[in-house]
Structure formats: C-alpha cells, structure tokens
Amino acid sequence: LAHNPVEEVNKKERFHRNYAAISVLKECQNENRFATPEEQIILSKYVGWGGIPEAFDERAGSWQSEYTMLKNILTTEEYAAARESTLTAFYTPPEVITAIYKAMEKMGFKEGNLLEPSCGIGNFIGMLPKSMENAKVYGVELDTVSAGIAQQLYQKSSIAAQGFEEVNVPDSFFDGVIGNVPFGDFKVSDKR
C-alpha cells in the first residue's frame, strides 16, 4: 500500500481523503475488526493534517463544512492533536525510505526485530524490501489516528499508540531502527 505513487492533490481533496480514512478507521474500531483490502486502499490515502490549517479554523468560511465534519468525527483529544499537527505533520517520501533500506542492506540487515519509532501510517513498514521479509517490524506512533491506520494497514506488525519514551521493551530487543523522526523543539523525559 505504501507503494502507491504520491499524488499532487489540492487541500480539499486531501481533507476528504483523510476524512474517509478516519471514517473507515472508526468503523473498524467500533466493530472490533481489521480493515478489508478495499478499506485498506482508503486508509492508505491518509496524509495527516500538515499544510491544512484551514480545516481547523471555524472562521474560514469556505472550510466551515469540513471544520464541522472534523469536530463531529474526532474525539476532543484527537481533534486537539490533529490541529496541533498542522505545522509539524509530514510523511517521508518513498525515495528517502528506499535509500534508508539500501543502507541497511549494505550493513547486512536481513532479519530480526526492527523498530520504526515514529511510524505515522506505516510507510516504512509498507516498503519493507523483500530481502528483509523475515524481519518483525514494531512501530511506535504518538498520534492515535495515524497509529490506528498503521495497525489496520499492516495487521501483522505491532504498532504502539504512545510516545516512544513510554514504550516498554527490554534493552537490546531491537536489531535495527528505521525511520525519519520529526524534529522540533520538544522536551522528552526518559524514565530510565
């Protein structure tokens, strides 16, 4: 699913694709089931809220309908997180993902426990090369909507919907780490 070509679409189209993906996610969660292959196609079009601040502005007249739609489908916490992400949410281009995997292949990585510490909807998981098909991928994602979509898309992977600093795994559990974590002015406290 991550191999879908990146499409240039306008903000309203991105909004409506995101909304459709959230609708599918909520339906799957409410029915306590995994997404069907058809639903996974809809989920894979979720791109987050980076660059769409209008959807969160109740005064943006041409976005009033979308603003109301979001307020009605997201929980208070999900809405706050989505609104906050308009300046920081991004997804890694496929070319970068491919380059990172090529570097890992050169280092000899083929199997083992692989960590993606800020997985979004799982694009790194979806582009796992054939040479690493025996790796077990673990994703961590703070945004619960993105984490939920990642779990629906990559149902055999383990996705933790929490901050990386809260993940409880034994030391030396992971054999490799992949990803393109966001950078920002955030303070994180590691209890260990």
- Express each pLDDT in 83-119 by its tens digit: 998 887 778 889 999 999 999 999 999 999 999 999 9
Q: What is the DSSP string of 94-142?
A: HHHHHHHHHHHHHTT--SSEEEETT-TTTHHHHT--GGGTTPEEEEE-S
pLDDT at 112: 96
The contacts of residue 165 (CB under 8 Å, 6+ apart) are 188, 189, 190, 191
Over range 169-179, report the average pLDDT: 94
Task: Return the higher-pLDDT residue of 184 and 110.
Answer: 110
Q: Report how far residue 24's alpha carbon sits from residue 20's, in angstroms, rounded to the nearest whole number.
A: 6
pLDDT for 118-162, tens place per residue?
999 999 999 999 999 999 999 999 999 999 999 999 999 999 999
Predicted confidence at residue 186, as pLDDT, reads 56
CA 124 to CA 86: how far, in whole Å? 22
Q: Which of 183, 184, 6, 182 is CA-nearest to residue 93?
A: 6
Of 61, 63, 83, whose CA–CA distance to 11 is shortest? 63
Q: What is the pLDDT of residue 180?
A: 87
Tokens representing residue 147 in the block: 């984490």
pTM: 0.90
Q: What percent of the chain has pLDDT over 90?
A: 80
Name the amino acid, one letter, at 158: S
Question: What tens digit of pLDDT does each residue of 9-43 get?
Answer: 899 999 999 999 999 999 999 999 999 999 999 99
Closest CA to 3 of 181, 130, 155: 130
Q: Tokens for 68, please give them.
A: 């109301």
Domain ranges (residues) in the chain: 11-87, 94-177
Contact 123/48 with Cβ under 8 angstroms?
A: no
Task: Name the pLDDT band for 1 (thresholds 50, 70, 90).
Answer: low
7 band by pLDDT with thresholds 50, 70 and 90? low
Look up the CATH superfamily of 94-177: Vaccinia Virus protein VP39 (3.40.50.150)
